[in-house]
Amino acid sequence: MKNILTYGPVISLYARSVLKTYPSKFHNATKERTKSLKGPKNIIEKYVYCDSGGFQIYEIEKNLRKKKSTKKWGIIPGVGTKDSKKRLIIDPIDVCRIYGRMHIKYGFTVDIPLCENATYQESKESLDQSFKWAKLMFHFQKKYCPKTNLLIPLHYFTKQNLYDSFEIMSTLDPYGYAIPARSTDNYDDFVCLAYAMCFLYHKGVNHFHLLGSSRTEIIILGAVAIALKMFDRVSFDSRSWNTATYENPNRFPKYFDPKTLKQICPSGEKKTLLLPKSIREKVLKKEIGGSFDSRRYLILLHNIMATQEYAQQMVRRAQDIDRLKIYIKNEPQLRLQRDRLIAAIDLLRKTSKKGYPFVDSLYGYLWL
């Protein structure tokens, strides 16, 4: 089996049509419940990812703690998935139905993410509840979404959190696992992410998903893991392809440079637009009305393809780790993160050669 690194751009409200032709879209089941299940014309293509709503729970809980919102959430089987301004209700059984009707290939079990500074009791309750809902979804998988491969999100702040989560969740024998990739703003977090990848490799995981980030360092780590053949498939998702217009549909997006993913002004269109001429002409003449909308459509589709192109470029570079490290040291875009990125890459390479127990015995103190 060929080792694959795949990008799943998150569907957003103002640019849904941009992703019609892209095969690895990342949907959200709670949002799709009322938008994509009304008839055959709205059924989404196969081979896509779909989240169960865990990130929305995380956002709601974070806003509640900061007193920015009074919106509540709940997980209640059998009542149907509902989302309003006042409350979010996630029905794990209904999520299975959504996966089946949308022909989702990779779906995530319902999970309760950990907020920052979670206590031991909160971590335990999160794990217990996440296991409960995951087990329920595996029970209904054969009935409602037999062709969906279920992946289980693992949430942790410490090494023991990860060990405990894997020990319990692995009893369900999922197709793969996912871990958050958003919290990588300091050296320790970044090394911990690499450690988690090493641990999952040690446990024989084949499909590994990085939740919620397409920053260059995350992509490079995924590329290294693929080049080292640590996993059959590594995937990642983000909405950054459409960040500029995510909240404001009238804001004009910038281009992603496929060589660096750096955002550049629209004046760079001729140099960076990856789309074939036939697609550009079709969009400009037929599918989108108005020059503003058609140009924005092309830019956003380009950004998706640029992210995937960058990922493949990094996989090619990672075939030679030493040369990749030289590239990282000399690449201005990676200057601020290069030390932690190289340290993380070294952990992956040493684990692939010596094994996780050997590496953990030497460097385990870096992450407790």
Tokens of 283: 């969009």
| Weakest mean pLDDT among 37-46, 90-99, 252-261, 351-360 | 37-46
43 falls within a domain: yes
271 falls within a domain: no
354 falls within a domain: yes
Q: What is the mean pLDDT of residues 89-117?
A: 89
Whether the predicted model's global pTM rises above the 0.85 cut: yes
CA-based diameter of the chain, in Å?
Answer: 62
**Entry field: residues in the chain:** 368
140 falls within a domain: yes
With a cut of 80, say whether residue 328 has pLDDT above it.
yes
- Mapped onto helix, strand or coil, the DSSP state of residue 96 is helix
Tokens of 59: 């956002």
Could you write out the DSSP letters of every residue in 149-207? EEEEE---SSHHHHHHHHHHHGGG--SEEEEE-S--SSHHHHHHHHHHHHHHHHTT--E
How far apart (Å, rounded) are the C-alpha atoms in residues 114 and 137? 20
CATH number at residue 188: 3.20.20.105
CA distance to 11, 114, 133, per residue, from 17 (Å): 9, 33, 32
Residue 285 — pLDDT band, cuts 50, 70, 90? low
User: pLDDT, tens digit, for every residue of 132-190?
Assistant: 999 999 999 999 999 999 999 998 888 888 999 999 999 999 999 999 886 555 556 77
256 falls within a domain: no
72 falls within a domain: yes
**pLDDT of res. 359:** 93
How many domains does the structure of the chain reveal? 1
Tell me the residue range of the domain where 205 lies.
4-248+334-362
291 falls within a domain: no
58 falls within a domain: yes
